[in-house]
Amino acid sequence: MNDTSRRQFLQTTAAVVASTAWWAVEAAQLNGERPEQDASVRVVNPRDRVPVSFIIDDSTCLVNLAYFAMPQFSETWPQRLDYQKPWATWPREIPDSFVRRFGEWCAERGVRGKYSIVPQPACVGWVDRELPGWSHRQLEDSLQLVRELMLPNWDIHPEMATHTRVIDTKTGRPFPERGPEWMENWQWTDGKSVDQLADYLTYSLQILKNAGLPCDGITTPGGFAGKVVPELAQATLQSVRHVYGSEIPHYFKFLYTDDRSVVPRVEYARGLDGNDPECVVSIIGCTGDWFGGWDGAEPGSPDQFITADLSSGRMVDVIEKQEPAIMVCHWPGMYYNGTEHGFKVFQTVVDRLHQRFDNLHWMKLSQISRYWAAKELTTMIRINNDISFVAPFSSPDFTLLLPGAEATSIRLQHKNSDILLRSIPERRQLTAGTCCKTNDGWLACFDLPKGQSVLRMSNPEK
């Protein structure tokens, strides 16, 4: 290999590595504090169901991010053929009529997940001010649609500021320098400190806050922060708490499609005994974008998620392991330049999942984060038939398996309240306030209050 072709090879390899952001180099993460938890008490999945969720990247108001990002990406990496697609022939808009149909279809089936709103999409404009190419009325209507239709079932994330050029947070304009060192997706974050990243995240979150959208987390665009993951985790914790006062910030950076665990990671936990406990949760996707690609030009198939005979596929594998099964897509791929190919793949996947499984629990990423923070950070001490909790965070549907426990009744006591858990015959019917005797032991499901509480199991009279 001569010098030129070697350089080209290295550049191309670097570009490929950088663009496969989610499975970027896994940096050592700090868990932080962990409390005492009695080995005979097991926190299982909420309501003994498997959490499922859907991550939508690269969405925003009106702007088709693929159309506007492609020329900026191809200028950054002129050798890369995957950035030479005919973007100029694509629609510049993903219309709100599509958002509405998608959102309504999902709401009817209980689908939940995360929907990005890129705050300054590809430098086209600012979702809190003006989107050149659309009237202010159209922008306002688009934001209102997100607030009304999407917010109940979807977390909103910034996907940093532009998903393309890096913004000077002092001026709100892209830096004049060009190249991968000045693109969010690539090398700009290399070597950046927690404070530098937190400044950039704060800038991005503030635009969404101005636009009236709440956030508990962030999504990294492409390779953003791939080499500074511990710093990213801490910057997320700081900036989301600073801008929104969120109790449990989370971030989406990684997805694994091999046999690694995709259980969320609760990181940088501290102050668990005090008034201001904190942690940040890394949410991990379990599929690639096998819907329609990031640009809406790579047709996917439902079979990779779950086959037509419902017997196999990546989602089946993860659900059977009882780990949260979180699919990942890109909004331009769902719209697919108007043919909606990605959306059709998704509809088939959801229908098949609901045919195959009766134990799924659709959750937002913030709900999954809260559950895992409570699961890992709640002190649980057992003395005979009493289990005492000290919970830094409350959690709905907190579900325990108590192997071998003998009990005729189970109650939860917290401050002045004393709730008898209603015994039900079928574990599939578990909801907060119920318990169920199974072959594995008692399952108890309740809304875990913040602070101290006690679960009391009463023995049969001997």
Site residues (vs Zn ion, CB under 5 A): 57-58, 221
What is the dihedral sign for C-alpha 226, 227, 230, 233?
A: negative
List CB contacts of 118: < 8 A, sequence separation 6 or more.
58, 59, 60, 63, 65, 127, 158, 159, 160, 161, 162, 163, 221
Q: How far is the CB of 327 from Zn ion (least distance, A)?
A: 15
Using CA atoms, how far apart are residues 441 and 58, in angstroms rounded to an integer? 45
Name the residue among 347, 335, 346 with its Cα closest to residue 296.
335
* Alpha carbon distances (Å) from 284 to 68, 137, 250, 421: 28, 37, 11, 33
Q: How far is the CB of 396 from Zn ion (least distance, A)?
A: 30
Residue 223 contacts residue 19 (beta carbons within 8 Å): yes
DSSP alpha helix (H) spans, 211-248: 229-244
Residue 454 contacts residue 71 (beta carbons within 8 Å): no
Q: How far is the CB of 419 from Zn ion (least distance, A)?
A: 44
Beta-sheet pairing, 42-43 with 278-285: unpaired
CB-wise, 157 or 352, nearer to Zn ion?
157
Q: What is the DSSP letter of 394?
A: -
Q: How far is the CB of 57 from Zn ion (least distance, A)?
A: 4
Residue 279 contacts residue 248 (beta carbons within 8 Å): yes
Q: How far is the CB of 294 from Zn ion (least distance, A)?
A: 7
CB-wise, 57 or 340, nearer to Zn ion?
57
Using CA atoms, how far apart are residues 154 and 12, in angstroms rounded to an integer? 36
Nearest residue to Zn ion on Cβ basis: 57
Using CA atoms, how far apart are residues 280 and 365, in angstroms rounded to an integer? 12
Q: How far is the CB of 125 from Zn ion (least distance, A)?
A: 18
Residue 31 contacts residue 266 (beta carbons within 8 Å): yes
CB-wise, 21 or 400, nearer to Zn ion?
21
